[in-house]
Amino acid sequence: MVAQCGHLIDLRQMPLPNVTVCCVSETGSSMRVVAPNNETSPSAVSSCDAVDVVMQFGAMMIGAGNTATRTREMMDAVARRLGLDGLAVSFSLDSITASVRHSGGWMTVVRETGPPAVNVSQIAELERFIKTLGPEPAPHDIKLKLATIRAAAHQYSVSQIVAAVAMASAGFAFINGAAVPEMMAAAIGGGIGQWLRMRLSRIRLNHYGAVALSAAAASGIFVIVARLAGLAGWEFVHYPAGFIASVLFLVPGFPLIAGLFDLSQYQAVAAVSRFAYGAMLLLSVALGLSFVIAVAGIDITRQPPLELTYALKFLLRGVASFIAGGAFAMVFNTPWRMALAAGCLALVANSLRFILTDMGMMPAPAAFCAALVVGLIAILFDRQLNVPRLALTVAPIVIMIPGISAFEMIVLFNHGRMVEALQASAAFGFVIGALAMGLATARFFRPKNVAPLP
């Protein structure tokens, strides 16, 4: 049974001898119990403290961007250590509902998780903490550790993140066929767009509004830089590739991938809510992008890619993949050693994807193979070096998401070019699904005798 915080519930007239009422708020737990014998049960108070810890841990994990499946596993591990059993959890985008059995009674609690985000460093610290948690820990000690993890400073400064996004935007522009002028303009637009998004987030502007304004700013800056460069004699031959690359940092890759992964693990509520969130972010980005397209009169029809020898193109694609993967890892607040490892993994996986597509394989199967490699290497690092899988998988997977197809789909639908829009939507959907399935398939290779958590 669930009650509002601070309210008194009289259980003396209820035929439920083992009911505990516990309310968990963002600042802690508040509990009032009137048992059938008119006495407050000390075990009920202890149960509420334990449940509060489990819910706070789960809220930090899911709020930092972890999948519902992994969060469920770790919450169950914490609950067992605290003497709770029978944990049943349901996740949505901004809340957790859990029912726990303890001492023959059941307790149901709901907790809000706050706005969605991605914080790999926080997830890694939480996983390390749980793996080192001793038997029968005190709930108060766990709360103190969770508060320390929550209060940890960000790994990178604003200027470092802005520079990382600028480099990632340049890398995306090259991967999509742009030349040096378009890469430079995309870097400037992407960096300024990321700076604006961080400023708007700091003043707690609505996520969707902040993303739309950031998309308009990034693409608008690209247009301005391109016009100025044109006046100086620099020709932008691959204009659409650079223009779209300037906003690719806003693609909600992780919510979409995590949603598909959760759906494959039967976490339907969490998956659908993440899909809805990702779709709204995509629409917000497309809104800002469409505004600039309409004002500047831009044609986003793809142009032939930059002509280079295959060996040079392969080498530069690898460099661009490393830069983009490492930069996105920094944006996701990944510790720098793990960010370097994520960049190297992005280089390997994305290069494999390019090789397969150059050999004639369709984009979706190639993306599946690349994601499978990412998942297998992440499992190996998790076992051998105690590096959380999410720390290595997020950035390499995100850079393989076909963001250009996503934005083309929305813009083309908006312009009534239905056949081209359907082609872009099919390309986007198949590749997203293949990436998620590749990560899910990698889990099948985890040794059966190795428990997910201690």
Note the pLDDT of residue 265.
81
Q: Which residues of 371-404 are buried (b: 16+ CB within 10 A; e: fewer)?
A: bbbbbbbbbebbeeeebbbbbbbbbbbbbbbbbb
Helix H or strand E encompassing 23: strand 23-25
Mean pLDDT of 360-378: 92
Mean pLDDT of 191-200: 94
In the structure, what pLDDT confidence band is assigned to residue 38 with cuts at 50, 70 and 90? very low
Does residue 364 register a pLDDT over 60? Answer: yes
pLDDT in tens, 231-256: 887 777 777 888 888 998 998 877 88
Taking the C-alpha atoms of residue 162 and residue 330, their distance in angstroms, rounded to an integer, is 10
Selected residue with higher pLDDT from 161 and 124: 161
**Is residue 352 classed exposed, middle or buried when 0-12, 13-18 and 19+ CB atoms within 10 A define those classes?**
middle
Mean pLDDT of 153-170: 92
How far, in whole angstroms, is CA 295 from its chain's centroid?
A: 32
In the structure, what pLDDT confidence band is assigned to residue 15 with cuts at 50, 70 and 90? very low
Note the pLDDT of residue 447.
59
Mean pLDDT of the chain: 81
Selected residue with higher pLDDT from 44 and 179: 179
In the structure, what pLDDT confidence band is assigned to residue 53 with cuts at 50, 70 and 90? confident
**Which residue type does 203 have?**
I
Does residue 452 register a pLDDT over 80? Answer: no
In the structure, what pLDDT confidence band is assigned to residue 451 with cuts at 50, 70 and 90? very low
Give the chain's largest Cα–Cα span.
Answer: 88
Mean pLDDT of 160-167: 94
Taking the C-alpha atoms of residue 298 and residue 362, their distance in angstroms, rounded to an integer, is 29
Note the pLDDT of residue 387.
66
Taking the C-alpha atoms of residue 330 and residue 325, their distance in angstroms, rounded to an integer, is 9
Portions of the chain given CATH number 3.30.1300.10: 23-115
Note the pLDDT of residue 73.
87
Contact between residue 211 and residue 197 where contact means Cβ atoms under 8 Å apart: yes
Taking the C-alpha atoms of residue 125 and residue 131, their distance in angstroms, rounded to an integer, is 10
| DSSP track, 263-280 | HHTT-HHHHHHHHHHHHH
Place of tokens 């051998």: 384
Note the pLDDT of residue 394.
80
The pair of structure tokens assigned to 81 is 């250590």
98 forms beta bridges with: 89, 109
Mean pLDDT of 123-132: 85
Note the pLDDT of residue 418.
85
The lowest-confidence range among 22-26, 106-110, 126-130, 416-420 is 22-26
Q: Which residue, 1, 3, 140, 119, is CA-closest to 59?
A: 119
Mean pLDDT of 327-334: 89
pTM: 0.81
Domain 23-115, classified CATH 3.30.1300.10, yes or no: yes
Selected residue with higher pLDDT from 268 and 381: 268
Taking the C-alpha atoms of residue 199 and residue 197, their distance in angstroms, rounded to an integer, is 5
The lowest-confidence range among 81-85, 289-293, 448-452 is 448-452
Selected residue with higher pLDDT from 217 and 390: 217
Taking the C-alpha atoms of residue 407 and residue 17, their distance in angstroms, rounded to an integer, is 57
Contact between residue 82 and residue 53 where contact means Cβ atoms under 8 Å apart: yes
In the structure, what pLDDT confidence band is assigned to residue 24 with cuts at 50, 70 and 90? very low
